[in-house]
Chains A and B, each alone.
Chain A
Amino acid sequence: MIRIDKVVREYKTGETVVPALRSVSLEIKNGEFLSIAGPSGSGKTTLLNLIGCIDAPDGGEIWIDDQAVSKMDTRQKTDFRRNNLGFIFQTYNLIPVLTAYENVSFVLSILSVEDSEIKKRTMQILEEVGLKGMEHRRPDKLSGGQQQRIAIARALIKQPKIILADEPTANLDSATGEDILRLMKQMNERYGTTFIFSTHDKMVMDWADRLVMLHDGSIVSDERRRQ
């Protein structure tokens, strides 16, 4: 369970203070497939960054499974991210010199998992995301959709509680985008992983079980579409 309580985030540019989130409160249950939507500058990425413990709020609190992540120090946040969170980025952010296999497996290497276990799990997840036979290809030899599949596999391999995806389909054509969303949904159902993804794309919003709309840093609607 994620509990966001009156979270405020402001950015300072010189003397000017720009509010990115204005007292946002939200509860997200385990296993939800939730989309945070809104126009550009509405605070979607900021909210994802706060939940993902890669940014800190200026006010309010964020709790994940009874842990006050907003009060953690940098080291604790790093440990928390390593053990509990997965990330999918708009631009995939794969390491260009590593193969598909290495890009995925490195997450387990960070967790000091044994080599034989790394190999087993990596091959399994690559098969699940439809990249069997492409393990040795580097990102530049793969399409955008395939690269995002690697990113999904990378996020999933450590079986995190939560996966945060910042506009995961923004760089893909609509058909490929839909493939990616289908895959994310499958993984959500198979592993019970909470998926939180941001978007401003109507098609992507339609895939969400729950849609939270942001506007100018405030939640303007919170709509549950499917159970």
Chain B
Amino acid sequence: MKFILQLALKNLTRYKRRTIITAVAIAVGLSMYIMVDSMLAGVESESMRNLRWYETASMRIVNSEYWEQRSTMPLDKSIQNSGQILSDLRAEGIGATPRIQTTADMILYSEDFGEDGSMPVLVTAVDTQTDFDVFRFVDTLVEGRFLNPGENAAVIGSWFAEDIGAKIGYWVTLLARGNGGFYEAIDVQIVGIVNCPNPNVNRTLLMVPIDVIDEHLAMDSTVTEIAIALPERADIEKTAARIQEKLDPEKEHILVLGWKELAKDYIGIAEAKRGGTSLILFLVFIIAAVGISNTMLMAIYERVRELGMMRAMGMKDRAISLAFIFEAGGIGLIGSLFGIALGIVINIPLVYFGIDLGFMLRDMDMGYRIQSVMRGAWKANTYFIAFAAGVVLSMLAAWIPTRRALKMTIPECLRYR
């Protein structure tokens, strides 16, 4: 065994050019794998983060009946004792804010927009004092200002503003159904335009003060939801279960839903996409594997005569196999280490600066909640997989041609060119 290891090491160090070329091929393949995996993981985690920060919050409290009939957004199925719930949550140090969501027809006027028109919109009524405690809109304002309590004003998403040609100061009328079924027209002036990293929000957001909606739609201080923010590493499911237990253990009136439950549609799409991304990763992996196999294959086949000589000298086939496999494992080890180092070097700018694909994502909905810059992510297990795969694949790639060469007769090996 000592001799086999020594032989493998000697071959490794003395076939320098071949070792370097093969190790570089392995390193490039593995760094590609690391890069693609990092981007896919980064996109997914950032997408989910943007979903929590700008759409769903960490979790929400809703009326059980409202949740059942959520497609119609029934205002009469709102949370009655929202004030008490909010003060209880805040007493525990949990950031929470009330919201009312309803649909409306938004009427546009020719004086401002050039022509009259209307369109269905989703109105999000926010508590101007506490909404920033839960959602991260504070740094997203690109024009105008945020809402003040009690004013007939609206803040809209930047892409939405672009699509309808809205500017600060323009007036629109929201025609919505109030609590009880009556229709109410609310005139609001656009006072702010926000641009956040979540494209879905940029495309659809229309925020108005909650007290305006409360008054016009006769909500009587009820709200359709209470959004809650938890720290990034908090156990959302556990916290949701604890709050649920406290508020309504039977789930008859109140439901506490984690963001995954709230974004079930997105999660479903994300799961489906994961199948696709796994396929991409698999293909990258295969490309890397083929590269490794090919270089190892050539390295073995150019030494078939050497292998034949060793057999003629009485070296056992198993010992020859091991010598070649150890040598390939050594090349795999060097290649994997370089591949991981290269992967880390490539990943640094990907994680900290990312790739700006805004020009593509503006007009294309990929389902991801990422607006422009796609960033990579650090995933320790990817590096482990890449390292192990580099070494194991190299050994396997050497084992197969060695086995084939050992199946040749010794004279065939000695004649091999």
Contact = CB atoms under 8 A, between A and B. Distances in A.
Interface string B1-35: 00100110011001100000000000000000000
Contacts of B411: 45, 49, 54-55
Interface string B313-333: 111110100000000000000
A40 interface: no
B409 interface: yes
B409 A54 contact: yes
Given A82-B315, A110-B315, A55 B309 contact: no
A107 interface: yes
Given A102-B10, A106-B7, A93 B306 contact: yes
Contacts of A80: 314
Interface in A93-107: 93, 95-98, 102, 106-107
Interface in A77-98: 78-83, 85, 87, 89, 91, 93, 95-98
B15 A97 contact: yes
Contacts of B313: 81-82, 87, 107, 110, 154
A93 B15 contact: no
A93 B14 contact: no
Nearest to B316: A78
B312 to A, nearest CB: 5
Contacts of A97: 10-11, 14-15
Contacts of A221: none
Given A49-B411, A55-B409, A89-B414, A79 B314 contact: yes
A109 B3 contact: yes
B10 A54 contact: no
A217 interface: no
Contacts of A54: 311-312, 409-411, 414
Contacts, number: 61
B305 interface: yes
Contacts of B306: 93, 95-96
Interface residues of A, number: 27
B414 A98 contact: no
A79 B308 CA distance: 15
A52 interface: yes
Nearest to A56: B409
A194 to B, nearest CB: 17
A89 B309 contact: yes
B263 to A, nearest CB: 59
Interface string A63-83: 000000000000100111111
Nearest to B305: A93
Contact of A93 (B6, B316, B414): B414
A55 B414 CA distance: 12
Interface in A26-57: 45, 49, 52, 54-55
The residue in A49, A97, A106 that gathers the most chain B C-beta atoms within 10 A of its C-beta is A97
Interface in A104-143: 106-107, 109-110
Nearest to A81: B314
Contacts of B7: 106
A102 B6 CA distance: 11
A45 B411 CA distance: 9
B314 A82 contact: yes
A55 B314 contact: no
A106 B6 CA distance: 10
A109 B310 CA distance: 12
A55 B3 contact: no
B199 to A, nearest CB: 58
Interface string B279-317: 000000000000000000000000001101101111111
B3 A106 contact: yes
A55 B410 contact: yes
Contacts of A87: 309, 312-313
Contact of B314 (A89, A96, A110): A110
A38 B255 CA distance: 98
Nearest to B315: A110
Nearest to B319: A110
B19 to A, nearest CB: 11
A79 B315 CA distance: 8
Contacts of A81: 312-314
A111 to B, nearest CB: 8
B331 to A, nearest CB: 14
Contact of A110 (B3, B10, B15, B409): B3
Contact of B10 (A89, A91, A98, A154): A98
A192 B319 CA distance: 31
Listed from nearest, the 8 A-B pairs whose CB atoms lie closest are A82-B314, A97-B14, A54-B410, A109-B3, A93-B309, A81-B314, A87-B312, A110-B315
Given A45-B411, A82-B314, A98-B14, 4 more contacts: A54-B409, A80-B314, A93-B414, A109-B6
Interface of A: 45, 49, 52, 54-55, 75, 78-83, 85, 87, 89, 91, 93, 95-98, 102, 106-107, 109-110, 154
6 contacts: A49-B410, A49-B411, A82-B314, A89-B414, A93-B414, A97-B10
